[in-house]
């Protein structure tokens, strides 16, 4: 973040906010990171400001949903503001869905309270994308101008071709007639040969130098073959090649010619026109350069977009999936499994007395604790098809597609025991001297008549029961009949106490997928 101003010294951010405390926080963050910004607190001021000032990013946090909608409509209807990226803060899913109907190209959302690192990272990425797009537009304009120039040059060449027979003596370039040999000994050369080759015409006609000697060594044999091939077939030829002038200057030339034949078809001589097309070749080289630059810009834009998409699905604190990714993944798997009639299981995990932990040890220790728990859960959910996500504050959600109730219970027992084994001190807990978790489980076969919210509701009810029954335990939702277990490790075996009060031991086994 420290060198962002060096890369984008003219970047300007517009804050649209009518909350004084939030505005103070945003202003402080932007000032501390050397961003230029302007402030507007309602729709009229925003639109008036953007008519006079060019901005690169818009941050919106207004209390009235209607006013947000009107601002978005106005921005989308104007060519000046249509492509400016917009970040909303603290919006509900309903508001976001409404705004997405406007098809805003560069749209993002940040939850409130604002996490400084996430907030600044998103600002940086959106400014990078917007800057790259502006560069791309500028390069496209240059490319169009170069293409137009090339078309003009090509049209000019075509004009010379169509009038060659009638205006050969008046055309620019070198008009010649030569013997039929590879040396191209000239019998007739126009005076314009000097501007093309740097040699006076008599150098060629008096055989002091042959034109073939001027042709670049790498092109010489190929040009001779192509010319001879056309002459044998009694066809005109067109050639493009390089020559070295008297001043050792490299030039590109275009040559058009045809043979002069006697009545028996024997080639008597060759006549033609040679024109300097170095300028055209330079245009082509510049166009190639611009195309390469355009490809690099597009590649950079793709990479930035991929990073942004990945960032949008990760929790900034723990590095696992965030709530947004959780919701999208659950909905996708629900639709898929409703057609295959396979089970979908969900684990909701809540850290016991975490508020007490934060109050006692401090928020930095709390953040570190959540990271360790996230890592532990991820290690014990080993199937790549499953998703571990931070569901909210100190809650975690684990989605397990194609997983039966029996299998998901084993995974939950693994997680709970592994967190026990961390032995993270928790003197402020009412049940243990170290960190524990309460777990709610639900498993269901999805149908198109139901929704994924029903699965969340069941797992949430089970989690509530786990807390009500004393925490540090697992409750499984089973048709409104809550069954819970308590687990302990004994001699590397998992000892499981079920709600019926009987004990049994179960050795941890590798989890197996359901097959249907």
Would residue 310 count as lying in a domain?
no
Last residue of a domain, one of 216, 250, 276: 276
Distance, CA of 256 to CA of 254 (rounded, Å): 7
Is residue 105 domain-shared with residue 230, that is, in the same domain?
no
Other C-beta atoms within 10 Å of 212: how many?
15
DSSP E strands in 32-114: the ranges are 36-40, 57-61, 86-89, 107-110
Residue 445 — φ and ψ, nearest 5°?
Answer: -95, 110
Distance, CA of 320 to CA of 225 (rounded, Å): 67
Which CATH number goes with the domain that contains 354?
Answer: 3.30.70.270
Strand pairing class (474-476; 493-498): unpaired
Distance, CA of 18 to CA of 110 (rounded, Å): 17
Would residue 137 count as lying in a domain?
no
Is residue 207 domain-shared with residue 67, that is, in the same domain?
no
Other C-beta atoms within 10 Å of 216: how many?
14
Last residue of a domain, one of 249, 276, 303: 276
**Angle CA 139–140–145, to nearest 5:** 95
Other C-beta atoms within 10 Å of 234: how many?
11
Is residue 258 domain-shared with residue 355, that is, in the same domain?
no
Distance, CA of 42 to CA of 57 (rounded, Å): 17
Would residue 308 count as lying in a domain?
no
Is residue 330 domain-shared with residue 455, that is, in the same domain?
yes
Catalytic residue among 255, 333, 394, 395: 394
Residue 506: the pLDDT is 42
* Residue scoring higher pLDDT (330 or 267): 330
* Residue scoring higher pLDDT (485 or 3): 485
Cβ neighbours of residue 512 closer than 8 Å, sequence gap 6 or more:
407
- Between the CA of residue 101 and those of 28, 72, 92, 282, what are the distances in Å? 33, 11, 15, 47
Which CATH number goes with the domain that contains 27?
Answer: 3.40.50.2300
Residue 138: the pLDDT is 85
Is residue 94 domain-shared with residue 217, that is, in the same domain?
no
Is residue 72 domain-shared with residue 175, that is, in the same domain?
no
Residue 46: the pLDDT is 83
Cis, bond preceding 113 (omega within 30 deg of 0): yes
Q: Could you read off the pLDDT of 74-112 as tens digits, one per residue?
A: 887 777 777 888 888 766 666 666 666 666 777 777 877
Number of domains into which the chain is organized: 3
Residue numbers of the domain that contains 84: 4-114
pTM of the predicted protein model: 0.44
Is residue 376 domain-shared with residue 470, that is, in the same domain?
yes
The helix or strand, by DSSP H or E, that contains position 240, with its residue range, turns out to be strand 237-244
Do 347 and 439 meet the contact criterion of CB atoms below 8 Å apart?
yes
Residue 183 — φ and ψ, nearest 5°?
Answer: -85, -15
Residue 44: the pLDDT is 81
Distance, CA of 489 to CA of 338 (rounded, Å): 37
Residue 227, SS3? Answer: helix
Would residue 465 count as lying in a domain?
yes
Distance, CA of 350 to CA of 468 (rounded, Å): 13
Which CATH number goes with the domain that contains 259?
Answer: 3.30.450.20
Is residue 365 domain-shared with residue 473, that is, in the same domain?
yes
Last residue of a domain, one of 261, 276, 291: 276
End-to-end CA distance of the chain: 51
Is residue 270 domain-shared with residue 361, that is, in the same domain?
no
Strand order in the sheet with 395-401: 387-392, 395-401, 344-351, 437-444, 474-476, 483-490, 493-498, 503-506
C-alpha count within 13 angstroms, C-beta hemisphere, residue 67: 16
Residue 394 is among the residues annotated as catalytic for this protein: yes
Of 438, 407, 424, 422, residue with least CA distance to 489: 422
pLDDT band for 513, please (50, 70, 90 cuts): very low
Would residue 100 count as lying in a domain?
yes
Mean pLDDT of 25-36: 88
pLDDT band for 178, please (50, 70, 90 cuts): confident
Q: Could you read off the pLDDT of 105-116 as tens digits, one per residue?
A: 777 778 777 788
Is residue 330 domain-shared with residue 477, that is, in the same domain?
yes
Residue 347, SS3? Answer: strand
């Amino acid at each position: 973040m420290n060198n962002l101003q060096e890369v984008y010294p003219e970047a300007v951010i517009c804050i649209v906010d009518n909350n004084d405390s939030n505005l103070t926080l945003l202003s402080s963050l932007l000032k501390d990171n050397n961003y230029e910004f302007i402030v507007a607190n309602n729709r009229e001021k925003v639109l008036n400001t953007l008519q006079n000032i060019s901005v690169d990013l818009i941050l919106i946090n207004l209390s009235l949903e209607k006013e947000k909608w009107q601002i978005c409509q106005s921005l989308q209807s104007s060519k000046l503001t249509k492509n400016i990226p917009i970040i909303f803060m603290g919006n509900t899913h309903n508001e976001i869905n409404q705004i997405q109907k406007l098809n805003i190209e560069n749209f993002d959302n940040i939850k409130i309270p604002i996490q400084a690192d996430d907030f600044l990272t998103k600002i940086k990425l959106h400014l990078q994308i917007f800057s790259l797009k502006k560069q791309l537009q500028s390069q496209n304009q240059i490319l169009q101008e170069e293409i137009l120039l090339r078309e003009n040059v090509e049209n000019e060449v075509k004009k010379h071709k169509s009038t060659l027979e009638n205006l050969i003596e008046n055309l620019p370039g070198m008009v010649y007639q030569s013997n039929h040999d590879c040396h191209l000994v000239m019998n007739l050369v126009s005076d314009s040969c000097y501007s093309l080759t740097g040699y006076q015409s008599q150098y060629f006609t008096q055989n002091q130098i042959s034109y073939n000697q001027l042709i670049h060594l790498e092109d010489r044999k190929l040009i001779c073959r192509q010319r001879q091939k056309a002459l044998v077939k009694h066809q005109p030829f067109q050639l493009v090649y390089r020559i070295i002038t008297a001043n050792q200057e490299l030039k590109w030339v275009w040559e058009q010619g045809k043979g002069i034949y006697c009545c028996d078809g024997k080639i008597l001589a060759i006549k033609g026109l040679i024109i300097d097309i170095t300028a055209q070749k330079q245009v082509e080289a510049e166009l190639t350069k611009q195309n390469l630059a355009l490809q690099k810009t597009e590649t950079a834009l793709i990479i930035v977009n991929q990073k942004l998409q990945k960032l949008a699905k990760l929790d900034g604190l723990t590095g696992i999936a965030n709530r947004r990714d959780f919701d999208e993944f659950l909905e996708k798997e629900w639709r898929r499994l409703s057609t295959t009639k396979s089970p979908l299981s969900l684990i909701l995990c809540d850290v016991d007395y975490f508020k007490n932990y934060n109050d006692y040890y401090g928020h930095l220790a709390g953040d570190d604790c959540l990271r360790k728990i996230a890592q532990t859960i991820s290690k014990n959910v080993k199937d790549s098809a499953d998703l571990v996500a931070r569901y909210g504050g100190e809650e975690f959600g684990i989605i397990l597609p194609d997983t039966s109730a029996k299998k998901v219970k084993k995974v939950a027992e693994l997680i709970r025991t592994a967190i026990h084994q961390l032995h993270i001190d928790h003197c402020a807990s009412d049940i243990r001297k170290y960190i524990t978790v309460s777990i709610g489980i639900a498993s269901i076969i999805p149908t198109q008549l139901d929704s994924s919210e029903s699965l969340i509701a069941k797992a949430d009810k089970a989690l509530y029961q786990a807390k009500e029954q004393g925490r540090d335990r697992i409750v499984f939702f089973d048709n409104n009949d809550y069954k819970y277990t308590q687990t302990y490790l004994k001699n590397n075996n998992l000892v499981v106490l079920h709600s019926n009060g009987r004990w049994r031991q179960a050795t941890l086994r590798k989890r197996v997928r359901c097959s249907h």
